[in-house]
Each structure stands twice: as structure tokens, then as C-alpha cells.
Amino acid sequence: MDQIKKLTTELRNPNTTEIDTLSTLEMVKLINNEDKQTIEAVYSVKEDIANAIDIVYEAINSGGRLIYMGAGTSGRLGVLDASELTPTYGVGEESVIGVIAGGDSALRNAIEGAEDFESYAVEDLKKLKLTKNDVVCAIASSGRTPYCIGALKYAKELGAQTIAIANVKDSIIGTYAQTVIEAVSGPEVVAGSTRMKAGTVQKMILNIISTATMIKYGKVYGNLMIDVNASNEKLVLRAHSIIQEATGCSEARAIELLEQSDKSVKVAIVMELMDLDQEDAQTLLKVHKGRIRDAIRD
């Protein structure tokens, strides 16, 4: 119990001790003011985040996977980040996976005790057939979750790269990881409610890691998501807009290109910029590992 009390994520916030007496608007202003600290917390560990990105990129570029591991809010955020990469960048579980202690049912329901056993993480990673080519990223606001410790230990045994993300300094999970990101979010508005500032910090860090990795991986041209999966009406319209922005063509031409490219925005852009048919555009992109900038310089 004493160890928990010493964690900055568990301390009472002196700025919010009277929050239950405030008006609704005053509550909103106070919570928002506390949230401002999250930006600085993330910026303070920018070098560590950059190191993590380079590790993740090299792994995925070599056929490995990024595997997020966490419990509770931390686990949910990992699953969220991983699942959103498919519609955004056309990347699935062959590259990024999110795992939460207790399994998918824990996304909606608290699974008591799921985070308390290192062996549960080992079992989950064995199901995924973890290899030394993968990267295991353990996420824990307290920096001491046994499930995360077990994941990092097992990954290290297999020779996989390891990353730890915590919201406290000198975290326990940090002692088991090669790359450590300790973004101190401070005491929460409601003591111990780490779904708030700690969760916000974690989400920002995961967003940066996955987004920067995808950019390096050739999934972005300029600031356009050129591997967007045009799987519904909204995304088809977005695909048309991206093609127009990237090539300067008309809306009608963008619609035509998307159809001719079999709904591949990336191929459509190269077809237009290089005046190629679908097959030749695909071949050119394959030669340049899917990177449009390299392809159009050819």
C-alpha cells in the first residue's frame, strides 16, 4: 500500500481538493487547466519517443510487429491505436496489434485480477507467436503492472525489442525495457483516476509513435493518408479528395482514377502524376516500396 501511495499518479492534487464545491463551468475550467500539463509531459520525453519510433519502424519494415500490451485504460488505448491503423493506413495485425489483459471482453468490462499475473501476458504473447523480430510495448500509468512486467520479461527472453511507457519516473517496467518513455502526468483531478491525464498522455504518445512510423513507412504523401481504406461512403469521398489534393486533378478525374486503380489511392496518384496505367503504377510503387515521392522521382 505504501508503494502505491508514493506514486505521483496516486497523489491528491492540491489544485482540485475543493472541486466538489465548484459550479459546472468552474469544474470544466479546472479540468481543462490540468489537461494543459499533458502537452508538456509528452514534449519532455520527445527524444525517448523518437527512439521508440525508429525501433518500431525498423521492426515493421523488416516484417516484424508492434505489440501493445496493457491493462485497463492503458490496454484499451493500445487496442484503440492498433485498430485505427487499418482504416487510416491499410495496416492490420500483420504489423500492429493491441492486447489487453483479460482479452477483448475487458474492453467493455473490468476483468478483476487480469493484470495481476505475469503469466497471463506470457500466455497472450505465446498465442501471438511472438518472435525476436517483434517489438513489445508495455503501457502502464503506474509503471508497475505485473501483466506488463511479464510481457517485457518474456519478450526479452526471446530477443524481441522492448518499450515501456509509464506516467511516473523510475518505473518498474522501465527496468525491463530497452527503450523507456516516462512522461510524468502528475496527480489526477480525481486522485488515482488515471483514465484522465495519464490516459491522455498515453494516447498522445501512441498516436505519435504509430503516426510517425506510418509516415516513415511510406503511408503518407505530404500530409495526406494515401493508403486510406476506402471501405465506406465517407472514406470513398475522402479518397477522392486526397487524389485531388495530391495531383490537382478534377473531382470527376479523381473518381475515375479511384475506380481504375481498384480503390487504391496511392496507385491512383502515381497513375495521374506519372501518366501510367494501373499495372505500371503498381510496378513502380513496388520497386520503391510503396513510397510515392521515390516513385515520382524515378
Record the cell numbers describing residue 233, joined without a space: 461512403
Question: What is the enclosing helix (H) or strand (E) of 66?
Answer: strand 66-70
Residue entry with cell 524515378? 298
**Is 115 assigned a catalytic role?**
yes
* Selected catalytic residue, list 10, 58, 84, 256: 84
H helices, E strands: number in the chain: 14, 7
Residues belonging to the chain: 298
Question: Distance (Å, rounded) from C-alpha 199 to C-alpha 76?
Answer: 10
How does 134-169 read in b/e, with b if 16+ C-beta sit within 10 Å?
bbbbbbbbbbbbbbbbbbbbbbeeeebbbbbbbbbe
Q: How far, in whole angstroms, is CA 15 from its chain's centroid?
A: 31
Closest CA to 76 of 128, 114, 36: 114
Nearest CA to 9 out of 138, 204, 202 is that of 202
Among 10, 93, 94, 115, the active-site one is: 115
Cell numbers for 112, please give them. 478483476
**Residue closest to 68 by CA, chosen among 189, 167, 209:** 209
Q: d(Cα 7, Cα 56) in Å, to the nearest integer?
A: 29
Checking DSSP bridges between strand 135-140 and strand 161-166, what pairing results, if any? parallel
Which three cell numbers mark 181? Answer: 518513455
The catalytic site residues sit at 84, 115
